[in-house]
Amino acid sequence: MGVFNRNVTGHVSVPIAVTLERGALIFFAETIGETNPVHFDILSARAAGYPDILAPPTYAAVVGSQADHAARRQGHGLTSTLDLINADYRHVLHGMESYDYHSSFFAGDQVTVTTEIKGFSDVKGGKLEIANISQKIKHPERGLLVEISRDIIHQLDRSALP
């Protein structure tokens, strides 16, 4: 039997508000080596028809993480999604991750993030357990912006992987 708390299957978090701050977006774009100025220069972004700096697509992962931290600060009782599923941080591995983009997001946007624990499975004869987690990032006017699906793997037996 694994360590993940499978009783949380189907759990959906309350919507957590996150504001996309311009400085954080610029820092992220520079950190990942983005060269398109619409990601770090407001004048270039506006000249391209955007209301503000365009978030790089991979910034969605940061927004999801920000939601976990905001939930804790707002008193929703969670340190993180990993704590909710009872992950043992010493043996957690990052599995599959996919993003389904519906619309862009920009500096200044106030979005909400909901996290759902979709389910759990076992592989390698029970040596690994997998938690499937999804997050949805929504904007109040533009609707669903991004759907994220990720697998968190817990290694129960160190010989399970090379």
Ranges of each domain in the chain: 6-20+57-157
Residue, of 110 and 155, whose pLDDT is higher: 110
Q: What is the pLDDT of residues 48-66, one digit of tens each?
A: 999 999 999 899 989 988 8
Architecture category of domain 6-20+57-157 in CATH: Roll (3.10)
Residue, of 103 and 80, whose pLDDT is higher: 103
Long-range contacts of 147-150 (CB under 8 A, 24+ apart): 147/99, 147/100, 147/102, 148/60, 148/61, 148/64, 148/97, 148/98, 148/99, 148/100, 149/96, 149/97, 149/98, 149/99, 149/100, 149/118, 150/94, 150/95, 150/96, 150/97, 150/98
Q: What is the pLDDT of residue 103?
A: 95
